[in-house]
Each structure stands twice: as structure tokens, then as C-alpha cells.
Amino acid sequence: MPNSSRRQFLIGGAATTATAAAGQIPNPEPIPLPRVKFHNAEITKLIIGSNPLYGYSHFNSILDRTMREWMTPERRVETLHRAEAAGINTWQVHYNNPCMEDWKRYRAEGGKMNVIVLADFDLIKNWKLIPAVAKLGPIGIGHHGNRTDERFRAGQMNIVRDFTKAVQDAGVPAGVSCHNPAVVEYIEDQGWDIQYYMTCLYRVSRTPEEARKEFGEAPLGETFMERDPERMLAMVRKTKKTCFAFKLLGAGRNIGNPERLETAFRFALANIKPNDAVIVGMWPKYKDEPRENAELVRRILQRT
């Protein structure tokens, strides 16, 4: 089957399956999502993330495995086409071999979404790979959030800065991802010449010692505190740089009912800057999450 025909088949079949489960008729021509200018691109206010596609649930190992077993390479690329059909025009993806293979396959099948690369695994260790990744055409390459927080904790932010310079030398906008608002404050105070931040709304990278110092006790697993979004979003508004806010749904902890889901989206969208956007991971096994999330973002932004 030709790539263009296969892509339409995947989009149509995926949308029909998901919307049939939800009792809805697919909309082939969605209303465009609001966009913001970023470097030489215009990106939608809603960006699809990559964690659920590759089994990073930030919940437990059982859900990780469930995600990975269902999300075959075919379904991952299918989900990207579905997101594009829903009006989303940007994908944030980690760097590793499966992700890069999916990116190339998605492009070969006619996919046109912009791509923002989050550097981890080999790319964070071997900067000589940056020019090759740059040739694939990402609109940004950012230093991974967990690695950033580790460098910040160890007093090694010079390494993070050198990485961003290497990205810029390859002709790509450079960013820094983090979970700790203090990282953004530090970079701003130091006057780094970077183009964007990826800002996690929950400081999940707290060590048990940091959690005990702050709250008097440590959680079992990652730290999702109810006022963390307020703390990070306050820092987002202080910087003039573009921020891509992520984990606004608390890695699925804020999706218990439609009201809670909408509240999380609404709070994030109301507290980022006009030139910012949000990144949301999507796992459309049970419903068409790309379409539903896009429709929700449209409805919220039309009322503001």
C-alpha cells in the first residue's frame, strides 16, 4: 500500500475505532488549534508528548509494561497521525533508537508535525550525535529534565550550558528541561543564551532527602504535590523565554473525571504566557485522547 494511502487508512481506522468506543462521529476537519510563534515555526498550543508511547507511565512498573505491550511501533506511528489529524502540529520526543525510527517512519508516511527532541540516553552522553540529529530537522533540542536536575544538585550546570551551546552550534534552538523551578531561576540569573525551557509542573525529581527537608517525610515513589504547579508556573511567568509546560495532568493523576481533567488543563493554560504551550502525553487505547484533548484546549482558549 502506498505511504499516503496507508497513512489515511491508519488515521481513518484509528479515529473510527476510538470514536466508536466513545459513541462519537469523527470530525475529519477540526477547527485549527491556536498557535504561537517559536523560532522559525508556528506551533500549536497543545503538543503531544512521548512518555505513554514508550511506556514511561511515572506511575508504576505494571502500567509501564501495559503501555509498552499495547503501544507497538505501528500504534505509535498511528497515534502520531491521529494527533496530526486532530489539529496538533508538534510532537515532543525523547532521543533513542526506537523514537528515531518512529520519527523517520512517520515522516516517510507523510507526517508533517514539528518535532522537539529531548536529549537523553546516547545523545546526552555523546554530543557528537547532535549534528546528525539536527539534520533530521527538529525545531529544538533540549537537555533532559532529570539529567538537568541531577547536574543542578551536583553543582555541574556548566555541563548543561555547554550542551546547549553544542546544540546551537548545530544550528538548532537549544532548550533546558527541568522539574525544579530553582533551575529556571538559576539560568535566568546567569543570563544563559537559550531559546526555551521545558517546565514540569510537578517536581517529581525530588530526592527522598529533599522531600523530607521540605515536607517532613518522603513519598513512596515520585513526588506529586498539589501546589507544585503553582510554584513552577510562577517561574514560567517570570521568564520571557518560551516555556513548554508538561505533566499538567500529573501523569494521569488528574484524569479521574472530566471536571478534574478540564480543571488541570484550564489552570495550566491560564497561567502560562501567550508565547508558551503545553505538552501532554496521550495513550489512546480506550478513547481518542488526541482528538478529545485538542477539542478541550480549543474550548478553553475560545473562552479566554
Task: Kindly tell me if the per-residue pLDDT of 26 is higher than 70.
Answer: no
Average model confidence (pLDDT) across the chain:
91
Question: Residue range 177-199: average pLDDT?
Answer: 98
Q: How many domains does the chain have?
A: 1
pLDDT above 90 covers a percentage of the chain that reads: 88
pLDDT of residue 9: 43
Grid cell listed for 18: 476510538
Q: What is the pLDDT of residues 208-256, one digit of tens each?
A: 999 999 999 999 999 999 999 999 999 999 999 999 999 999 999 999 9
Q: What is the CATH number of the domain that holds 139?
A: 3.20.20.60
pLDDT of residue 257: 94
Task: Kindly tell me if the per-residue pLDDT of 19 is higher than 90.
Answer: no
Question: Residue range 180-199: average pLDDT?
Answer: 98
Q: What pLDDT band is residue 2 in, cutting at 50, 70 and 90?
A: very low
Q: What pLDDT band is residue 30 in, cutting at 50, 70 and 90?
A: low
pLDDT of residue 29: 65
Domain ranges, residue 177: 3-26+34-302
Region of poorest pLDDT, from 54-58, 176-180, 192-196:
54-58
Task: Kindly tell me if the per-residue pLDDT of 17 is higher than 60.
Answer: no
DSSP string computed for the chain: --HHHHHHHHHHHHHHHHHHHHT----SSPPPPPEEEETTEEEESEEE-STGGGT--SS-HHHHHHHHHH--HHHHHHHHHHHHHTT--EEEEE-SHHHHHHHHHHHHTT---EEEEEE-THHHH-GGGHHHHHTT--SEEEE-HHHHHHHHHTT-HHHHHHHHHHHHHTTS-EEEEES-HHHHHHHHHHT---SEEEEESS-TT--HHHHHHHHSS--SSS---TTHHHHHHHHHHH--SEEEEE-TTTTTTT-SSHHHHHHHHHHHHHHS-TT-EEEE---TTSS-HHHHHHHHHHHHHHT-
Q: What is the pLDDT of residues 32-86, one digit of tens each?
A: 899 999 999 999 999 999 999 999 999 999 999 999 999 999 999 999 999 999 9
Question: Residue range 282-303: average pLDDT?
Answer: 94
Task: Kindly tell me if the per-residue pLDDT of 22 is higher than 60.
Answer: no
